[in-house]
Amino acid sequence: MLKRCGYNPLLVPADVKPSNPRFQVDGIFNCGVARYRGEVILLCRVAESVRQTDENKLEIPVVVNENGKDVIKTVVYDKKAQPEFDYSDSRSVYKKGPKGRRTVANLTSLSHLRVARSGDGIHFTVEDRPGIMPIASEESWGMEDPRITQIGETYYITYSAVTEHGVCVSLMKTKDFQSYERMGIIFGPENKDVAIFPEKIGGEYVAFNRPVPFGIGMPSMWLAKSPDLLHWGRQKLFMATSHEGCWDEGRVGGGAVPLKTEKGWLVIYHAADAADRYCLGVYLLDPEHPEQILGKLEVPFMEPEADYEKEGFFGNVVFTCGALLQEGNVVIYYGAADDKICRADIELEELYRMLGV
């Protein structure tokens, strides 16, 4: 039913030129998707780290402002001399706390956003330079997981804006994927996975978002509304995590920007279990009332199964930020194991059948 592209992975770290001679590319993954002037554009998350020279040390890049100018500096951990930190997760360094609690001390890599283009949706060329680099005031720890919503001729991009004070979601816009206008933070910390519907519904913009509660509750999917794309409110819980032992027990969050079909909004989302295994699920929502679910699959329709999804920077992950409708097919671009970009297609009719609509 689901056809993984025979050319997978479409993009790997070796396809990307580092933005800085001291850096190596750890991953190109979790990309926003758009059609622009007859081409498919992927706005990719590119994660880079410092090429390490001493195995006892870990040098981490961050953006800081010095004398009014943004520069990349490194934070250096001495693994032997600093055992109070946990270095076992490839994505983050954790500070060990009491009762097994741990907090993120740093991310191991710094992500920026970069454009890749293709005429056929399969063979992509990655630009030599970053499209947008993080700035110290808003994204000192990086820009992650962009999602593109086309409204008219403007492409609105939401992304995780990460700093030491938390993960926010910011908005920017472009008309040409060359110059970008930052519009600021639209969801304060901690929030992620914002996918804006591509048109107003009932006179308002609608977006999924994924606040991370502290103390009570789990990271779940919420729906917010806005008159202008900047001011979001009237939050409603859309879907909470599921029961213990289920594929969606750990977290659920928006995935691809919702696709408009003749039967309603097709929503591909992600969920992770307690072991951080990320799968994709699907919903069909009422065209006029997106909080109303017309069809839902109780099981994931895509799980990390291929080697390139099971192994990588952070294994057992399929994660999408964007999909396209093309001749009766849903074309899903997704990040595999947090370091590659892949494609999988599924017929829309097949999805309808699975959803019982």
Q: Which two tokens stand for residue 313?
A: 């920077």
Options 176-184, 229-237, 257-265, 311-319: segment touching ligand MAN (CB under 6 A): 311-319
The one among 190, 338, 339, 345 contacting ligand MAN by CB under 6 A: 338
- By CB under 6 A, residue 168 contacts ligand MAN: no
The one among 48, 139, 145, 248 contacting ligand MAN by CB under 6 A: 145
DSSP SS3 for 13: helix
The one among 133, 141, 335, 343 contacting ligand MAN by CB under 6 A: 335
Options 55-63, 76-84, 303-311, 313-321: segment touching ligand MAN (CB under 6 A): 313-321
Q: Which two tokens stand for residue 151?
A: 């409204």
- By CB under 6 A, residue 134 contacts ligand MAN: no
DSSP for 131-159 reads: SB---HHHHTTEEEEEEEEEETTEEEEEE
Query: CB of 192: closest distance to ligand MAN in angstroms?
Result: 5
- By CB under 6 A, residue 314 contacts ligand MAN: yes
Q: Of 32, 196, 25, 194, nearest to 116 (Cα)?
A: 32
Nearer of residues 208 and 314 to ligand MAN, judged by Cβ:
314
The one among 223, 317, 323, 324 contacting ligand MAN by CB under 6 A: 317
Interface with ligand MAN in residues 52-91 (CB under 6 A): 91
Rounded Cα distance, 277 and 305, in Å:
11
> Exposed e or buried b for every residue in 108-132, given b needs 16+ CB within 10 A?
bbbbbbbbbbeeebeebebeeebbb
Nearer of residues 318 and 355 to ligand MAN, judged by Cβ:
318
Query: CB of 303: closest distance to ligand MAN in angstroms?
Result: 14
Residue 293 CB neighbour total at 10 angstroms: 16
The one among 77, 278, 308, 333 contacting ligand MAN by CB under 6 A: 278
Q: Of 112, 354, 105, 144, nearest to 253 (Cα)?
A: 144
- By CB under 6 A, residue 139 contacts ligand MAN: no
- Cα dihedral 210, 348, 276, 194, rounded to 10, equals -20
Which residues partner with 116 through β-bridges?
A: 42, 126
Interface with ligand MAN in residues 181-200 (CB under 6 A): 192
Size of the chain in residues:
357
Rounded Cα distance, 51 and 20, in Å:
11
Q: Which two tokens stand for residue 342?
A: 């892949």
- By CB under 6 A, residue 30 contacts ligand MAN: yes
8 Å CB contact between 339 and 312:
yes
Rg (the chain; Cα; Å)? 20
Options 118-126, 132-140, 282-290, 314-322: segment touching ligand MAN (CB under 6 A): 314-322
Q: Of 163, 43, 59, nearest to 115 (Cα)?
A: 43
Nearer of residues 225 and 270 to ligand MAN, judged by Cβ:
270
Nearer of residues 123 and 165 to ligand MAN, judged by Cβ:
165
- Under rule CB under 6 A, how many of the chain's residues touch ligand MAN? 11
Nearer of residues 222 and 314 to ligand MAN, judged by Cβ:
314
Binding site for ligand MAN (CB under 6 A): 30, 91, 144-145, 192, 278, 314, 317, 319, 335, 338
